[in-house]
Amino acid sequence: MSKRDLKKYLNELNKEQLEEQIIELYEKFSPVKVYYNFVFNPKEDSLLQECKLKISNEYFPIKTSGRGKKPKMRRSVAQKYIKHFIVLGVDPFVIADIMLYNIEIAQTFSAEHLVKQELFYKSMLNSYEQAVLYTIANGIVANFKQRMIQIQQETVSQRWKNHADFLLISERFDFS
């Protein structure tokens, strides 16, 4: 069904029928419920804190029953939240904050632990470029410029093998 056909169908329904359909969608489909819960009660601060906790747990897992958990360092956890927040229409400042927080917590981890996986550094570079492009696209780069510079400088101080690539991105968008 095309969007035009859907509009035509919805125009044929009266108010009660529309309400019934929306309630049915709300009850049947979890994403619809999540969307409406967010729209009518957008607790962005609590969503942000929950997200940051999950991301930091990827690098610094909470120890349970005296045994230490091994860090998983999955970039996908942050990416899933970012994508979800974009779909919900969360404030771009919150999304950019999460994008940069993901890199910053990874850098905190790599400052304390030797990371041998090349994929870790490559994925952090991808995250950095995505964050830069996202802030530019949303006209909020000035609000996050200092954090992006700090991230780039931290790659140098930690001697990341791809620190020159971070510098190239910073130079390309003129914030080094």
Residue-wise pLDDT for 109-125, tens only, equals 999 999 999 999 999 99
User: Per-residue pLDDT averaged across 53-74, rounded?
Assistant: 81
Distance CA 29, CA 170 (A): 42
- Among 54-68, 94-108, 146-160, which stretch is predicted with the lowest mean pLDDT? 54-68
User: Per-residue pLDDT averaged across 47-65, rounded?
Assistant: 85
Contacts 24+ apart (CB under 8 A), 28-36: 34/88, 35/87, 35/88
Q: Report the predicted TM-score, pTM, of the whole model to 2 decimal places.
A: 0.80
- The reported pLDDT for the residue numbered 34 is 79
DSSP 63: P
- Residue 128 CB-half CA count within 13 A: 32
Give the model's confidence band at 151: pLDDT under 50 very low, under 70 low, under 90 confident, else very high.
Answer: very high
CA dihedral 108, 54, 152, 107 (to 10 degrees): 20
- CA atoms 148, 153, 155, 161: torsion sign: positive
Q: What is the mean pLDDT of the chain?
A: 90
List CB contacts of 33: < 8 A, sequence separation 6 or more: 26, 27
- The reported pLDDT for the residue numbered 174 is 79
Give the model's confidence band at 152: pLDDT under 50 very low, under 70 low, under 90 confident, else very high.
Answer: very high
